[in-house]
Structure 1
Amino acid sequence: MSTETITDAAPPAPPHDGHPGERPFTTYGRLWRAVPRELGFLLPNLPIVILGNIIAVTLFALGVGTIVIYLGVFVLFATLYVARAFGSLELMRLKAAGMPEIEAPRWPNRPAEGFWRTFFRPFADAHSWLHLIHTAIVNPIVGTLTWGVTISWVFGGLGGALAWTFPWWLDSDERNEGLSSVVWPGLTPALGGQALDMVLNVVVGVILLVTLPFVLRGLTLAHYGIAKLMLARFRSEDLEERVAEVQATRTAAAAAEGAALRRLERDIHDGPQQRLVRLQMDIAAAERQLDTDPERARALLAEAAGQSREALDELRALSRGFAPPILLDRGLVAALDSLASRSTVPTEVRAYLPAEIVVPDEVQRAAYFVASEAAANVAKHAGARRSSITLEVVPGAAGSRWLRLVIGDDGRGGARPVEGHGLAGLDERTRGVGGRLDVWSPTGGPTTVTATLPLPA
């Protein structure tokens, strides 16, 4: 067993990307690098929004017009699903354009009780109607405007910047009907209107091209803001999902606790309790034999001593199901070191924990029991020559931190979290503290058990 403990390591710093201290030229270069993606979003806008408008408006009008003969209800049902498809397409295109991902609504994917409840569920969903309004009205208006601005800016900039390559400005005719006649109507004939027209076109074209990245970013952000307002999931849905997760966590914790108590009760009943009953019977029989058959009494007492030793061994084995004193006194890393030293398979412990990290007691217990059960499985079933235990802190979403425990071995693999067995119980234990258990164990090995447990912010 070897141990590598690093207590002052910190997670790598996130890459520097777009911070306020970034140099202007670097920011401008990043805007130009995003131009192809943003053009890929803006240029196809017109056909997409017109197609969505035609289909959505036609279906909606047909549905409303035929609702009196009940056919319209089914047409409106199809209309809502078409609008949902166009809304999902808009979110996908925005993500491909480099915009931050917008969380789409969690559409119900399970049928409700009864056909009609399932059928009418989209009609009661506010997201369905918002997607329809976005597809039929808002996006066609905004998309047509942004497409027009994009086309004007791109081709106006290219045409103006390349105006010097056209031979028309070399014409000796002094008629001035170009851009210069608007800027200097009475002055330009004396200066050569065609040449001045060329210069002005080039200047305007260069200005349009220089400002193109800012314009494209602004137009894309306009679509993004509207999509975030109309196509994203509601914050109330996040709250409901969090409440459901908390409820599921509590249920899993209660189930894990109940299963542990039932297993402990069964083990005590089948093991130490039976031996203690046998011990009591042997002592009573020895008491009756003391006067009449001392040799027999001595033999019974020897059997009773053996029963007491076996009961003590079983109680010690059962006590391993509780947190060991070393975990409570010296912490998780020391407990894992002790666990590895007792393993029959050579085990390496690698701990990468920042010095300031505080691991709650319930998370430490969950991590220890995951490692303990996984190490027991390695020793009993894996046929492994070596194993490892890795403990580290990893960053999560919104500044959260997670404790990740990885137990790996080079055994035969094939481990599965079967209901009622050890890995399934570990899954319940990790979910009981708000974590997650992942098992990767292909046939032939190797096996990796990963527990990801939450840490306080």
Structure 2
Amino acid sequence: MSRTSSPGVAVRTARQLAYVLVSLVIAVPTAVVVLGLATVGILLSPLVGGFAIMQGAGTVATVAAAGERRLQARLLGRTIEPPARVGPRVLSDRQTWLELVWAILRGLVAVVTAGVVIAWLGLVLALPITAAEIVLPSLYPGHWFKFGTWDPSAGTMHIVQALVGLVALVLLPWVVGPMSRVQSDFGAALLGEDGELARRVDELSASRAAGRQAEADQLRRLERDLHDGPQQRLVRLQLDLTRAQRQLTTNPERAAEILDDARTQADQTLQELRQLGRRVAPPLLAERGLGAAATELAGHSTIPASVAVDVPRLPEHVETAVYYVMAEAMANANKHSGAQRIDVAARMVDDAVVVRVRDDGHGGADAAKGHGLRGLQERLAGVDGRLIIDSPRGGPTQVEAVVPCAS
């Protein structure tokens, strides 16, 4: 991974020029040495000495690569993070082979880039040469400006020469800069991690870990809710049925009362299981999509809720993530907000779904204070989404989630 800083144009151009010229001095001898050692090592590969020579070529390339990283850091302000070594020996590591290739090809790249820069510097030199002819005429017997005399043909030529030098000087940053970037980018590509790829891998690793953590937390909450709710009711139902069975012959009226209470317990247990089922995989979401599922959630809300969902059918993991945002935000509003109204909206923005759940309650919602919103953050991280909570003291509260459809 690499980072760059941005000094002024003159300073940056001077550093880039120094980088190109210093690289030329270092790169050509290094390429010759590494190529020579590698060639001899390959020719002698059937022998033990050939392998040792190849090891030496790899070591030289590795040392040169370390020097290149330091050179770029010092002159270009660019930090190249070296990839981790994975092999116990020099030639068993993939990065060493990349450094071998870089060290050999670097000489050619340096000759080309430095050649362009040196040729352009030759044009820039036209300006000080012309100035020297004017200021120090004794150095140029055939000069065009001497003691007030004027040679039209020589004067015109030197004016053109001065203009060429001036234009070349003005355009120097746009020549040195690209040549420096060609060489430095070539080094960064082979000597360091791909910054964007490494960043993306880190993000994906973190998001997948967050997704797994969210699933684990969800399973633990579901297990706890099953234990504290339906399981306890079922245990009581079993005891009630046993009592009713014993009293059927001795006290039928009491048995009927117990059975009536058992039926109530069974209905309540069934309702709780349905609610828990909606948290796991709501059937309506899979059958009819987010609009119907959100309308069902609003129907079970104890606070009047409006629904405005304008999205097409989406990938299953996206619909599930958006549904959980709606469900959790509405559940929090019902439990804690003291609101009089909840508004649920979802729409497409570019290639992402934006869902907002807003209530007019007293505010103060914070993901750091409760497992529900923090669990939503972890779940959304698993699909590359993000959660934005705006809940000042006194309200209102808005929970917004952005979920990319291509995640």
TM-score band w.r.t. shorter chain: 0.5 to 0.7
Q: Is the 8 A contact 2:391 2:398 kept in 1?
A: no
* Change in 2 beyond 3 A, CA 1:308/1:384: closer
Q: Is the 8 A contact 1:345 1:384 kept in 2?
A: yes
Q: Is the 8 A contact 1:289 1:297 kept in 2?
A: yes
% identity of equivalent residues:
31
* Change in 2 beyond 3 A, CA 1:220/1:344: farther
Counterpart among 169, 179, 197 of residue 222 in structure 1: 179
Matched to 1:269, the amino acid is: H
What is the CA–CA distance in structure 2 between the aligned matches of 1:159 and 1:293, rounded to whole Å?
123
**1:367 to 2:322 alignment:** yes
Q: Is the 8 A contact 1:389 1:407 kept in 2?
A: yes
Shift of 1:365: 0.8
Counterpart among 277, 298, 309 of residue 319 in structure 1: 277
The equivalent of 2:286 in structure 1 is 328
Map residues 223-262 of structure 1 onto 2, 5 A cutoff: 223-232=180-189, 253=211, 255-262=213-220
What is the CA–CA distance in structure 1 between the aligned matches of 2:399 and 2:276, rounded to whole Å?
24
**1:425 to 2:364 alignment:** no
Shift of 1:154: 5.5
User: Greater helix percent: which structure?
Assistant: 2
TM-score scaled to structure 1, two decimals?
Answer: 0.56
Q: Is the 8 A contact 1:49 1:143 kept in 2?
A: yes
Shift of 1:239: 7.0
Q: Is the 8 A contact 2:229 2:269 kept in 1?
A: yes
Shift of 1:230: 0.3
Q: Is the 8 A contact 1:87 1:134 kept in 2?
A: no
* Change in 2 beyond 3 A, CA 1:82/1:255: same
Secondary structure of 1:177's partner?
coil
Secondary structure of 2:236's partner?
helix
What is the CA–CA distance in structure 2 between the aligned matches of 1:439 and 1:159, rounded to whole Å?
64
Equivalenced residue count is: 374
* Change in 2 beyond 3 A, CA 1:362/1:278: same
Matched to 2:314, the amino acid is: V
Shift of 1:129: 9.5
What is the CA–CA distance in structure 2 between the aligned matches of 1:445 and 1:125, rounded to whole Å?
61
Shift of 1:314: 1.5
* Change in 2 beyond 3 A, CA 1:289/1:386: closer
**1:177 to 2:161 alignment:** no
**1:201 to 2:158 alignment:** yes
Shift of 1:205: 4.5
Map residues 348-359 of structure 1 onto 2, 5 A cutoff: 359=314
What is the CA–CA distance in structure 1 between the aligned matches of 2:314 and 2:310, rounded to whole Å?
13
Shift of 1:368: 0.9
Counterpart among 208, 215, 228 of residue 270 in structure 1: 228
* Change in 2 beyond 3 A, CA 1:241/1:158: same
* Change in 2 beyond 3 A, CA 1:134/1:333: farther
Q: Which runs of 5+ in 1 are unaligned?
A: 1-35, 55-76, 94-102, 118-123, 170-174, 180-191, 396-400
Q: Which runs of 5+ in 2 are unaligned?
A: 1-6, 26-61, 89-94
Shift of 1:302: 2.7
TM-score scaled to structure 2, two decimals?
Answer: 0.61
